Structure 1
Amino acid sequence: MPTYRASPGFFEVPHAAVYALMTVTVLTSGFCFIQSGGSSAPAELLYRYGGMYSTAIARHEYWRLFAYGFLHVDFVHLTMNMLCLVLWGGHLERRVGPAYFLIIYLSSMVLGAVIGNGIHSTPYLTVGASGATSGILGALLCLWILGKLDLRFDFFAINIGLNIAFAFGNSRIDWGVHLGGFAAGLIGCALLDLVEKVNAYALRCKFPEAVKVNLTLLACAGALWGWAGQAQTMVPAWGASVVFVGAYCAVVKIVDLVLSMKKGLAIVIALLAGANAAGVMLGGWAAMFSACGPRRPGEAAPLDDLLDTFCANPVLVTGLAAIGVAALTLYVCSKEISRGMEDVGFVGASLRAERSRRHGL
């Protein structure tokens, strides 16, 4: 983990994960605004592209647990959430690194939607990154409580106070998503601190951030795939969760052992590129059977033109996408490949020095 602490000031320059999330969110919301022909998106369009609604989980539309967090009602809604992402995300990403930042952000997004859905007793439609950004603030508060963040109390008093005041002044704010995301960030950060302490005893190597980010994204995709598949089987949810967690821990340990080998980092990057390509192939295969079938009259699907192009030749499109993802992985991780070929930083004294730090996050 990074050894530096967050700046005691109110603003911290954002880093890669914050910029990536901002880019995806702005492009996704902006696409909806363009589709609607104005600076806001109607409820019908938001529902079509992934808005979270009252029976989404009951209908096994789990993709909405992620999609809703990248959609926004209007430009003001988008601006407010992106401002929170910049103001809070820079501090958290610098402190815990991009991999753990993504885990906290995406977990807060999903759990915020789940908790919000449980609280609602009437039909609703919700969109926005508020649950995820509230999770960032919750994680920062957790680090401050643990004494691992050099931010002053007034940072939290002002930010939490302003959010509460703004929420009281706007009746359209979904309190369930906000509170659920905040609790998820607070608890999730505490669990990650415990995981990092255990890792010092369970793992031999310090994972590079590129490897951690890739494993995090694969875990999210695998969890979503497994959650959707579990609904079609007789396997209990708790049983599927135990199997998934066990399999993921086994994968992490295998990566740890490979990293400790000569040229291990280069081997791991190559394996991750292959895993990313395989994930795209599996996703394309699932989409081919679920999205390319006959549609009910009047049924609309997001991005109909792109979907029609994909369904015209799904094998070719999926294959090209898989090759592109593998090539992108190798390109983005080119520095890690070079380091791995030279065995820099992952064997010998530097490895032992990293594992001697058992202070958590």
Structure 2
Amino acid sequence: MTSYTVIIVIITCLISFIAFSNLKVMDALIFWPPAVSMRHQYWRFVTCGLIHADFMHLAFNMFTLYFFGKALENLYMGELGLQHYYFLILYILGLIFANIPTYLKRKDDYNYRSLGASGAVCAVVFAAIIIRPWAEIWLYGIRMPALIYAVLFMVYSIYMSKRGGDNVNHDAHIWGAVFGIVFTIIVDHEVFGNFINALRHPNF
């Protein structure tokens, strides 16, 4: 069965590469809140995830998506017994949901732009973590439980969202992560109970 993760990575890389050298494509796909509120261009909630600021931005998101996405697809179909397409639904809705708070905050800000798949990637990462909280993650050469990474990531994102000034949409990271957790619990109610049980029995 073809992996949705691989398909998303390929499509995102191709469109991002095109947009790097084509400003018309970039402008048509980027998340620009006034274009949604004034021109009803709702597709921008999704298409902004197909373009990136530069190669490093693209590489980081797609590298993270590839490894966590493949793992989550296996968890969804194997451990949770879900249909293959649930992963695709998570990813697309994650893109949309992650950008809604930004839209509500910036819908009249003509100078604001946002791009990248980070919100959806965070949804994938945190969906995997809620299922396997004690899985091993390596971050900058440091080995840690996935749950510890999740806590550190959320604390950092909330702090940076309040601080601002770094041209990164931390709100999208936060709400993408929240969506990934909530979506996974909704599609399989046992996930929450298993997560609580895992907290009571650390395994790292």
TM-score w.r.t. structure 1 length?
Answer: 0.42
2:6 is aligned with 1:19 = yes
Contact 1:107-1:185 at 8 Å conserved across structures: no
Which blocks of at least 5 consecutive residues in structure 1 are unaligned? 1-14, 36-41, 196-361
Aligned mate of 2:46, from 51, 54, 66: 66
Residue in 2 that maps onto 1:240: none
In structure 2, C-alpha distance between the alignment counterparts of 1:165 and 1:95, rounded to whole Å: 27
Aligned residue pair count = 170
2:18 is aligned with 1:31 = yes
- Greater relative CO (CA pairs within 8 A, separation 6+): 2
The aligned runs of 1:49-128 (5 Å cut-off) are 50-58=29-37, 59-97=39-77, 98-120=84-106, 122=109, 123-128=111-116
Q: Secondary structure at the match of 1:72?
A: coil
The aligned runs of 1:248-327 (5 Å cut-off) are none
Identity of counterpart residues, as a percentage? 23
In structure 2, C-alpha distance between the alignment counterparts of 1:181 and 1:131, rounded to whole Å: 4
* Structure 2 CA distance for partners of 1:132 and 1:26, relative to 1, 3 Å: same
RMSD across aligned C-alpha pairs, in angstroms?
A: 2.9
In structure 1, C-alpha distance between the alignment counterparts of 2:10 and 2:60, rounded to whole Å: 15
2:149 is aligned with 1:158 = yes
Residue in 2 that maps onto 1:191: 186
Contact 2:126-2:150 at 8 Å conserved across structures: no
Residue in 1 that maps onto 2:128: 140
- Segments of 4+ in structure 1 off by > 3 A? 119-123, 158-170
1:78 to partner: Cα distance: 0.4
In structure 2, C-alpha distance between the alignment counterparts of 1:170 and 1:103, rounded to whole Å: 32
Residue in 2 that maps onto 1:277: none
Which blocks of at least 5 consecutive residues in structure 2 are unaligned? 78-83, 137-143, 191-204
2:172 is aligned with 1:177 = yes
In structure 2, C-alpha distance between the alignment counterparts of 1:135 and 1:78, rounded to whole Å: 17
* Structure 2 CA distance for partners of 1:26 and 1:65, relative to 1, 3 Å: same
Contact 2:72-2:127 at 8 Å conserved across structures: yes
* Structure 2 CA distance for partners of 1:184 and 1:20, relative to 1, 3 Å: same
1:226-282 alpha-carbon deviations (Å, 9 max, x no partner): xxxxxxxxxxxxxxxxxxxxxxxxxxxxxxxxxxxxxxxxxxxxxxxxxxxxxxxxx
Contact 2:95-2:119 at 8 Å conserved across structures: yes
Larger radius of gyration: 1
TM-score w.r.t. structure 2 length?
Answer: 0.72
Contact 2:3-2:70 at 8 Å conserved across structures: no
